[in-house]
Structure 1
Amino acid sequence: MEDKNKKDINRRDFIKIVGISAATSTGLLYGCSSKGTSSSSSATGEGEVPTDKMTYRTSPTTGDRVSLLGYGCMRWPLKPAPNGNGEVIDQDAVNALSRHPRDKYYIATKLSNFSPDTWSREASLKMYHKSFADLQVDYIDYMLLHGIGMGGMEALKGRYLDNGMLDFLVKEREAGRIRNLGFSYHGDIEVYDYLLSRHDEFKWDFVQIQLNYVDWKHAKETNTRNTDAEYLYGELHKRGIPSIIMEPLLGGRLSKLNDNLVARLKQRRPESSVASWAFRFAGSFPDILTVLSGMTYMEHLQDNLRTYSPLEPLTDEEKEFLEETAQLMLKYPTIPCNDCKYCMPCPYGLDIPAVLLHYNRCVNEGNVPRNGQDENYAKARRAFLVGYDRSVPKLRQASHCIGCNQCVAHCPQNIDIPKELHRIDQFVEQLKQGTL
């Protein structure tokens, strides 16, 4: 493993260089069109930002009093790297938690031993202890077995069972170095059900699941999961296990709806942001401990504070309204990429998330022409192609995918990435040649 790391850049080093939100940041600069869309100010919220009315939930296992809004740390604000090579986290904007007393915040981290190279007990222990050193702490509040379900039962056995790592982590909880032990679910439902069936033995303190008003009943239709969030949450609710929610915005897609859906939501609550509907949905279930949000900019934080300070739970009628909205959204075939960058770096230099996100933006803005008979064909064709070249450098576009499939196993959304890249590349070529 050490020799391999000398030759090949790993995902963690890659993120340090290019920044975790490079494609998202690019999307703010280069949309599919220059006109106001769902990403414009019309989709944001209004009003003062409360600072003393946050909704809190209490953990039934440790008694932790946790704010309903949790800070996801995958999309910190970025700035150009001093050496001119990519971007790095803007530390001045982020500041450090160490300036606060340790008992005033909760830290969650994960054991991300995805690669078979890290399945051994020795490699997994090294990764575990490195988390304490990197975070500069002597205990971790919430430790996750990360990516449970990816790779099925074989991966679960290799990563946590056969090597004794799960037994080790349980003992670490007993020793107080882990205060809450849980897992995040990303794939095979057999693995999810198996771990819950052993709840009496492992006594899970929490489970992290993807939940939003689209995946609640339509996860299979969006290809994000093989099981709806309604089932995932229901199984935890039956056992009294608190849920931590990831992807409340479905990878940002529920804050970047097409103009018609934005108008639909704004008509109901003109003062509220489009994203607030999704956060209210995620927070309205009683056994949810906290909802994670990757807040890159201060306005994201301020908007979420308005939503959860305090939370106004959805009414049954509003839940039905969002279900209707979800059904309308499914008519627009976006790709379920949430810009996590687990697929990166691509060995052939593609910017996979940027390609997929550009396509999604154009779908949401109505700039994906179906054929030459479309009334909007010429305008949409130009918007797609110009936006593509601006968002993704030519050497990193879909045309350079050779179908090696290396990225597929790393995608928590189960996207057949090469298939989608080839489809987009074929679409781009048809647009260029005018043969669509």
Structure 2
Amino acid sequence: MSDNNKDISRRNFLKRLGGGTVALSAAALPGCDLKRNPVSGESVTAQGDIPTDKMTYRTNPKTGEKVSLLGYGCMRWPTVSEGVARDGEEEIDQEMVNRLVDTAIEHGVNYFDTSPAYCKGKSERATGIALKRHPRDSYFIATKLSNFAPSTWSREASLAMYHTSLKELQTDYIDYMLLHAIGMGSDGMREFNHRYMDNGVLDFLLKEREAGRIRNLGFSYHGDIKVFDYLLSRHDEYKWDFVQIQLNYLDWRHAKEINPRNTDAEYLYGELEKRGIPAIIMEPLLGGRLSKLHDHVVSRLKQAEPERSVASWAFRFAGSWPGVLTVLSGMTYMEHLEDNLRSFCPLKPLTEEENRFLFETADLMMQYPTIPCNDCKYCMPCPYGLDIPAILLHYNKCVNEGNVPESCEGEEYRRARRAFLVGYDRSVPKLRQASHCIGCGQCAPHCPQSIDIPAELHRIDGFVESLRGCTFNRTNVRPLKRNET
């Protein structure tokens, strides 16, 4: 793409979004009985009962077991106040967790993915309570050795974390054990060695697999490609049973453009496929960003598949690759679960034409890229009380909805300005807004996407001040390119 094309106007951007390589109906959408996704606000078509015997399964090549193509990610369990258990400040709604797990199992979901780090340490316990009510051979438990902090790098601390997982999950074996977030940090190889090699923890896990207390051993990859390539180069020795990667239609070819430390999913998946290693997929929605698209993209997808949600395109993309064992989704609400069940009961694989359509959509989305925040909340808590994810997600929402005005003279400036500022004050309390960031940098090392969080917060704060004072600064409109300073 030429440099001139990188700075197309929003009007031309929207004009290009109106067309595409897929022949779409120009007719108005038929009348539907719609309800709203409680998180994305997306209209979801009510389609009646979901079949309980149509789940698509993939076969684990090592064990021959059938794994549901939809996997339940247990990072976002609901709380009693109907929120999401991410900060650890609220009690998990165990009754609702039980209902969600029961509904998932009833419809064929049998893979449940958790971690000691999820819900500030509460996810494994809630997951274990819900699953214990079902026969142990009716589901697979995946958890992780999440020894991120240097205080957990010792052999004693890491093994204690492993044994605590078994206790919290109320089981004497783990079906899928992961070395968690390999490649994170400023020096991925150095941290990998500290966490798993120097202390003998990887050797311990390999012996646990030999003993049968771990049925499948793999790792989840974030960031430093040297670590990914190194671990695959030793596949003959370690015999990885699976690897968890981030894969979606935006990251397929644009991950490195979004963040130079990331690697395109096309490469990651291809390296696993060459070796016959099953892929577990995380972030098929990029932390929900692919369900909160620009209105023109939403219209485009809805014209192609009126009865399917926008999110279903991303899930079908991830599930259509044959080397994928399961696609994880963090489903907080029953509406999430029901919508995803419709995508996988059974899966309708994407055609080559539909893949081209999504790749073109991704190319167009990159003209106005959002900040690559996946709402994992690893940057929290902020020592100065900022709600970092809420700030970044509000900015992304406004980019997608066209509420980031280009200039004071723009024809939509007043509407967009009001939408941005009013929405900002409603979604982020004033004392937790970007203006209070002092640039201490404590958040940035914990970000799996390697976002320069202080720089983004200061940029957003400058943009907000421009809107409030109408001293507009054009450079604050778009996210900072990763190769800019």
TM-score, normalised relative to structure 2: 0.80
Q: Distance in 2 between matches of 1:376 and 1:326?
A: 25
Give per-residue Cα distances to partners, 1:288-312, cap 9 Å, x unaligned: 0000001111111111111111111
Quickly say closer, same or farther: Cα 1:36–1:179, change in 2 above 3 A.
closer
Q: How does 1:175-214 map to 2 (within 5 A)?
A: 175-214=211-250
| Structure-2 separation of matches of 1:298 and 1:126 | 34
Q: Distance in 2 between matches of 1:271 and 1:250?
A: 22
- Name the SS of the counterpart of 1:89 in structure 2: coil
Higher relative contact order (CA 8 A, sep 6+): 1
- Candidates 73, 88, 92, aligned match of 1:89: 92
Aligned to 2:14: none
Q: How does 1:17-416 map to 2 (within 5 A)?
A: 39-42=40-43, 44=45, 46-80=47-81, 86-95=89-98, 96-151=130-185, 152-223=188-259, 226-416=262-452
Structure 2 Cα separation of the partners of residues 435 and 135 of structure 1: 55
**AA matched with 2:176:** Y
Q: What amino acid is the match of 1:60?
A: P
Distance in 1 between residues matched to 2:50 and 2:40, nearest whole Å: 21
| Runs of at least 5 residues in structure 1 that lack an aligned partner in the other structure | 1-34
TM-superposition CA deviations, 1:342-386 (whole Å, max 9, x none): 001111111110110111111111111122011111111111111
TM-score by length of 1: 0.88
Does structure 2 conserve the Cα–Cα contact (< 8 Å) formed by 1:45 and 1:273?
Answer: no
Contact 1:107–1:142 (CA under 8 A) maintained in structure 2: yes
Residue 55 of structure 1 aligns with an amino acid whose one-letter code is: T
Equivalent in the alignment of 2:20 = none
Q: Aligned AA for 1:193?
A: D
Distance of 1:37 and 1:98 partners within structure 2: 29
Structure 2 counterpart SS, 1:226: coil
* Distance in 1 (alpha carbons) for counterparts of 2:42 and 2:436: 36
Counterpart of 1:99 in 2: which secondary structure? coil
CA distance, structure 2, for counterparts of residue 275 and residue 48 of structure 1: 19
Counterpart AA for 1:116:
P
CA shift, 1:88, in A, is 2.4
Q: Which amino acid aligns with 1:89?
A: I
Q: Secondary structure at the match of 1:180?
A: strand
In 2: Cα distance, 1:214 partner to 1:223 partner? 12
| Aligned counterparts of 1:407 and 1:40: Cα–Cα separation in 2 | 29
Are 1:38 and 1:257, in contact at CA under 8 Å, matched by a contact in 2? Answer: no
SS of match in other structure, 1:293: strand
Task: State the 1:37 CA deviation.
Answer: 13
SS in 1 for 2:237: helix
Distance 2:309 2:260 in 1: 24
Q: Distance in 2 between matches of 1:325 and 1:46?
A: 26
Q: Distance in 2 between matches of 1:399 and 1:214?
A: 31
- The answer to whether the 8 A contact 1:56-1:67 is kept is yes
* SS of 2:140 mapped into structure 1: coil
In structure 2, C-alpha distance between the alignment counterparts of 1:381 and 1:313, rounded to whole Å: 41
Q: In 2, Cα distance between the equivalents of 1:103 and 1:224?
A: 42
2:31 maps to none
Q: Secondary structure at the match of 1:108?
A: strand
How far apart are the structure 1 equivalents of 2:183 and 2:41? 37
State the Cα distance separating 1:47 from its structure 2 match.
Answer: 4.8
Amino acid at match of 2:239: K
Alpha-carbon contact 1:80-1:86 (below 8 Å) kept = no
- Distance (Å, rounded) in 2 between the aligned partners of 1:343 and 1:358: 16
Q: Cα distance 1:354–1:205, how it changes in 2: closer, same or farther (>3 A)?
A: same
Any idea what SS the aligned residue of 1:367 has?
A: coil
Number of residues of Structure 1 aligned to a counterpart in Structure 2: 399
SS of residue paired to 1:289 = strand
Q: Secondary structure at the match of 1:313?
A: coil
Quote the offset at 1:44 in angstroms. 4.9
What is the one-letter code of the residue matched to 1:127?
Answer: M
For 2:405 and 2:275, the matched residues in 1 are separated by 48
CA contact (8 A) 2:166 2:173 kept: yes
Deviation readout 1:70-97 (Å, 9 max, x if unpaired): 000111122239xxx9532211111111
Change (3 A) 1:162 1:37: closer
* Distance of 2:63 and 2:274 partners within structure 1: 19
User: How far, CA to CA, are the matches of 2:176 and 2:236 in structure 1?
Assistant: 19
What do residues 254-291 of structure 1 show as CA deviations (whole Å, max 9, x unaligned)? 11111100010011111111111111100011110000
- Aligned-pair CA distance for 1:424: 0.5
CA contact (8 A) 1:337 1:353 kept: yes
| Maintained 8 Å contact 2:56/2:344 | yes
Give me the identity figure in percent: 76
| Equivalent in the alignment of 2:24 | none
Return the alpha-carbon distance in structure 2 between the equivalents of residues 361 and 88 of structure 1.
28
2:457 pairs, out of 387, 396, 421, with: 421
**Secondary structure at the residue paired with 1:87?**
coil
- The DSSP-based 3-state class of the residue aligned with 2:311 is helix
